[in-house]
Each structure stands twice: as C-alpha cells, then as structure tokens.
Structure 1
Amino acid sequence: MIRRGFLTRDGFVFRIGAVVTVVLLATGIALFYKGSIGTVLRPGETVHAEFARDYWLRPNVTKVKIAGVPIGVVTGVEPVQQDKIRAALKIDPGIREKLGKAPSAAIRPTTLFGGNYYVELLPGGDEGTASSDTIPLSRTTVPVELDRVLEEFPPSTRASTQRAIRDLDETFGRKGVEAARDLVDAAPDTLAPTGRLLQAVRGTRPEVDLAKVVSGLESTARQLTRRDDQLDNILQSLRDTTSVLATERRPLANTISTAPGTLKETRSTMGALDKTLVRLEKTSKAARPTARNLAGLLKRTDPVLRNARPLVRDVRSLLQDVRPAVERLVPTVRTATGVLDDVRGPVLDRVNGPIMRTVLSPYRGTGPYEGTGADRPFYQELAYMISGFGNASKLTDRNGAAVAIEPGISLGSVGGTPLNLERLLGNVGSGQGGADGN
C-alpha cells in the first residue's frame, strides 16, 4: 500500500510539473508574440502607405500616431520595388474618416538621434473618406538622419557650427542662466493668459472647431501654392495696396473718423427705409392685380404709341413755333394777374351779392307798378324783354334793322274821364258794381 501510494504521489507530482511546464511555455510564447496577438485582437481597419525606404518599421511594434497620440500599429512591411516599400497600418475605428480625402504619412524618429521610429498620419484634403486605402509615395516622407545632414555641409560650415555650439554653451553658462531663471520666474504669470488663449483657440466645440480651422488653413495653403507664381502675385498686389493706403492715409483717417456719424445716419436711414419697405410691401400686394393686367394694357397701348409717333414728331415742331407766343404771353399774364387782383374784392362781392340776388329773384312791381310781376326770375323776364325787342326790330330795309312802331287806340286811350271801359271791365270781372268802381 505504501509502495502504491508513493507511486501515486510521484505520478501526481509529474502531472503537476507537466502542467506548470506547459503553462510556462505557453506564457513565454504569448509574451514573445504579445505584439502580434495584441494586433490581431485590436479592433480597427487597415490602411497602407508607400515609403521610399524602410526606416526600421517593425511589424506589431512600430506605433502609428496622429499629433503625437497613438491610434494604431504597423502590422506588416513588404517591398514593392527597389526604391519603394508598402507598410500596412492598423488604425482605430473612426480614424480613417478624420484623415480626409488626401492624407499624408511620415516616418519620424522618437528622438533627435533616431533609434526608434513611428509613423505619423497627417489629415489632408477635403472632408470625407479617401477613395483608396493606400497613401501614395508622393504624399509620404522619410526622416533624414542628423549625420547625413552634417555630411552635406562643407568642413568650414561644420567648424562654424561647432563654434556656434561652443558659444551657445558659454552664453548659457554666464548670463544665459540668469535669463533662463528670469524666464522660469515669469512663466507662471504668463501661463494663465496662455491657457485662456489656447482655450479660446479650441473654440466652442473643441472636438470640431479646431480641426475645421486647421483643415481650412490647409485648404487655403493648398490653393495658394497650386501655382508657383500665385502667392508672389498676391504679395505683390498686397504691397501695392499697402502703398496706396499709405499714400492716402489722411483721407482714410478722415473717413474712419467720420465713420461713427455716418454709421449713425445710415442706421436711422435704414430704419426709415425699413418702414418704407413695409409700406411698399403692402402696396405691392395691392398692386399685383394691376401689374398682372398691365401686360395686356401695354400690349394694347403699343399700337397706339406706334400710331401716335408721327403726331408726336409733328407736335415737336408745333411746340417750337408756339414757344415765342408763350414767351410773349408771360407779360400779358402778369398784367391779367393785376387786373384780377383789382377785380377781386368789392367788385366780386357786389356781383355775388345784390346783383346776383336781383337777377335771380322774381319781379314784383311797387308803387305805381304794384300788382305787376310774375313768378319767373328777373333774368328770364329780361330775356323775354330782349327777345320781344328783337321781334320788334325785325323790320329791315337796305339801311338795316329798325324798330317797328304801330300806333293804335284802345278803350283806355282817353284818360281822366270816369267812363273808362278797361276799368269797367275790370270791375265787372272782379264782382264790383258801379261805373266809378264803388
């Protein structure tokens, strides 16, 4: 039993050791392929970029960044041609839409002296997603090593650079340290305003406004640099404009000084114009039916105007002939104005007063003529008299018209006698008796 238990315990220990060994081996393998496993499990989408050279791009290790923020990793590098390689970049979801339609890429060192590198993506072009998932070689750059830059300088330039660095070291070693200390002492006072400035630059929507500003500046720069001489022409025009403004600075200053008053007057004028426009709008609504009918009126008027053209042409010469007569009428009109001024007043008051009342009132006899008259107005009786006088003057001869006079004898021709037949007949008609009228 003891022998069997011992063997059983050894078997258990062996199994435990095998399990631990397998776990350690799997852990080592997982740690060795940690980058690959993390890349496979990482969500996102893949874009490609073409570079002139491979600057130590390591799959599953080299980071992909935007503005210094990691957003992906390089998943593969493959040569395409002798002077071109193609790198696969796995980026986080939603990043591709923010790159624009013409993004660019650059391999940058993490330090000044190289060593580790990362791929930086730069948004570009209009908003939206690029039609291709590959950034071409024309929009990618590779870093230039500092030693290669220095190799391009001639020996004299490199010696001058060494002296400049030595002088810079001496500057910082003397008064430069004090200046740097003063800068550090003054920096806290400027950090708060700088923070407010940067906060204002971010806009009211930090996640959108600043990106739009940068995109707009990039579009502006792309338009300015589309032609080589376009920016130069703009600067030349700006110089000419500045020169003209400098020459005419006094009138410009006067204009600016009077601008507040002008704006005030403009504001009041615009207020009055606003009221006028409101009234005009109401008037225009009422005038719409008239405007609709105006087309037909103009269509009918056109033949009339065409026929009236010869008349207008003749009237022009007539007006030229009438003009001297009108000019001569001016003194006459002035004299007539004086005459009318004299007539106005007592004369018109007399005409409008007693004369008009007499002419318009009926005639009633008074005194010896009492009992005579009629209901007709005086002017009618006067007209009848004139008409009767006209009838009486119808007798004409070779010398002209003459008034006809016909003598005769009537019952009352003999006056002063009590036997007056006219009175007798009158008394009889009125119902009174006696020849004497009693």
Structure 2
Amino acid sequence: MKEILDAIRSADATSADFAALALPESYRAVTVRKDESAMFEGLATCDKDPRKSLHVEEVPLPELGPGEALVAVMASSVNYNSVWSSIFEPLPTFGFLERYGRLSPLTKRHDLPYHVIGSDLAGVVLRTGPGVNVWKAGDEVVAHCLSVELESSDGHNDTMLDPEQRIWGFETNFGGLAEIALVKSNQLMPKPDHLSWEEAAAPGLVNSTAYRQLVSRNGAGMKQGDNVLIWGASGGLGSYATQLALAGGANPVCVVSSEQKAGICRAMGAEAIIDRNAEGYAFWKDEDTQDPREWKRFGQRIRELTGGEDVDIVFEHPGRETFGASVYVTRKGGTIVTCASTSGYKHEYDNRYLWMSLKKIVGSHFANYREAWEANRLVVKGRIHPTLSRTYRLEETGQAAYDVHRNLHQGKVGVLCLAPEEGLGIRDPEFREKHVTAINRFRLPQEG
C-alpha cells in the first residue's frame, strides 16, 4: 500500500506508472460479519451500537471483472445506510449479498461471510477490467453508489428502474470504507480538483439523492420560486437540498432542531427557518395517535415565513414522525417526495388532505448515472459545496457511525482511508480560494 500511496502523492506519476504498480493480496476494510448479525436482537434501535459491530480487518483483494475498476480509496464517508448495515436493520445485509451472488458466477464473489460496507469514495483508479475505455489507471475519481446490470430493457430509460439495481456497499460487497474498493466503471465521475480527498468523498450519495429527489423530473421537478419544505435542513441530505433549492432559485423553508443548525442554514443563505424543538412541535400525542392541531400550527408558521403561501414541495426523509404533517402542509396540487424513513417505515397520514387537494406522493431512491453526474458537475463548478463537519480515521469508523446513528453530527462525516491526513489532494488551490468559506462552513461552528 505504501507504493500506491507514494504514487498518488507524487506529482510526476503517470498512468503507466499506476498500471505498473503491484496490487496487494489484501487490504484493510470496515466490515460487518455474518456470524454476528443477531448480536443486537432484543434491543431497541437506539440502543444498537455500531462500535460493537463494525470491524477493521484485512480482507482479500477481489477479482476484477469486465466493466469494473479497482480504486485506491483515499477517503470515504458515513451515510445512513452504513448505520443500517452496522445495526443489521431493517434486515442484515447478507441476504442482499446472497441474492446478488446467485445472479452469475461473477457476482458470486460478493456472497461472503463478511461485508465491506460504504457507499462513497474519492480516490485513484488502479486497474480497469475488460471493456472499460473511458477510465484509466491514475485517474482521480469519485464514485456514486448505483450498481446496475442493464441486461433488462426496464433500466434503459432510467437505470434506477433496472430490476438488478443495487446500492454499492450496502446491497453489494467491496464498498468504499476501505483502502481499496471494487466498483463498476459507470459509477465513476471526475474528482473536483479544488477539494481535498475527504471533502470530495462527502457529497456523492447524498448530493445525488437530493438532486434526483428535488431537481430531476424523476423527482419533484423543482422550479424557480417554489417554496420547498426541507426536513433536517442542516443534515447529510437536507444540507444539499438546501443548497440545491437556493442555487435553483427556490425558497427553502428549513426545519432544524437547534439554534446552531439554524445558524448553518442562515450561513448557506436560507432565510425561512423553523427550529422545531424551540417551537415545541409534537406531531404525535402518543405512539399511536397523531395531533392534527400541530399540523395546523406548523402550517400557519410556514405561511408566516412565506408571505402566506403553502409549500410547493416537501423534501421528506424522516418518515413516520413527520409524514402526516408533510402531507397536510403541502399546497393544493403540490408534491411530497420521499427517499427514506429514518424515524420509521410505517407512515400514517390523513388521505383526505391528499386526494381532495390533488397532492402527489413521489418515491425517490438515489439517482441514475446522469443525475449523479449532473449533481457532481455542480460540485466541480463550485455551485454546490461539501458539508463535511468532521473526519475520522478508518479505525474510528465505528465511532463515526455511532455519531450519525445518534444524530450527534452536522452535515456529513468523513473517513480517511489511505489518506494519512486531511487536506491532501487539492489540485486547484486558486479556484478553491474563491469558495473556501463555503467549503468549510460546516466545520466553523466546531472550530469556533
């Protein structure tokens, strides 16, 4: 690994130099283990501790197949799917790997008693398999997490509809929380030159997800002037939705849970902000009963911030806790677009407010290659910025996942893999200087 890292840090290494590097037989990776998948049985979700289930261990280098690439991972990040993997919810991921392994002799590689997790990376291509022509050894890249086979016609209009669509590092093996990752070549995108490795690794999954959910015609199709209610507006997903709304001429109504998080939204340029804890919103009277009076109070507060208008779009991801309120406050003919259910999958809402007001609920899951590319292009151009708040070493991934699980973080949490320290990999410092305040925005509250 030292020779690989030396080549990456060298200013003179060529593609031929990278192609000539000897690959190691094994590498360090963050894993969950199949024989431990029942370790949290009987515990409430909040009591399940990723620090107990995530391991950093040496694993064999996987075989490189057609249309694939091996990437030296300089940095990765923790997404909520890594938390789900670590606490074996809603199901242990080994069922995903077993089903994928039955697809072909090549996919059988993924069905192992350990699962290398992680759905983001920034790094350097080491090898490409047969049929890869666009990318070569030495290319600096980021990866999005859509893995597709594209042997069915269903996926050729929108690859997210491919029947063999999977999320890399969650429903496939050899993910990004490791020193080396195996990806399909059509997951690769150019690394933004003005960002460090850890900054470049942060946007991938969440920025692409927010782009499809909010901007794409496959999601809400946001337009200029739209009022957009964004739950968790300073969080991993919401921080990108807030930026996309502002960059697209919409008016984000940012829902946060503290004054510190409200300050971050103001720093991004948002003006309409609701601190749900300070204002005491409680949408559920008890475990089984919602409180429509709180929906109404919430809607009135939104109209105070928008000049009397209801929201055109609700950017939904908390799920059960907020969904009834989301449906209620959306304007007539508006859209509730949902990509997750971090507070519970069984949503309840009053359907009268949906059908009689012609509202739409749209399901949105990650992004296709084109959407991910467009989202990354905005980062390359300095229109959208990383929301990295803290970086951990690979050995500390369990703690990083714990912090995300307990919502102790802001924005995104990064993980250094091969990178020995933060701040490496910046190729365009002049362009970076124009955006350095925005790049570091989520770090400022902790550094101050």
Decide which structure has greater strand share: 2
TM-score by length of 1: 0.21
The structure with the largest helix share of the pair is 1
Larger gyration radius, structure 1 or structure 2: 1
State TM-score, norm by structure 2: 0.20
Relative contact order, higher structure (CA 8 A, sep 6+): 2
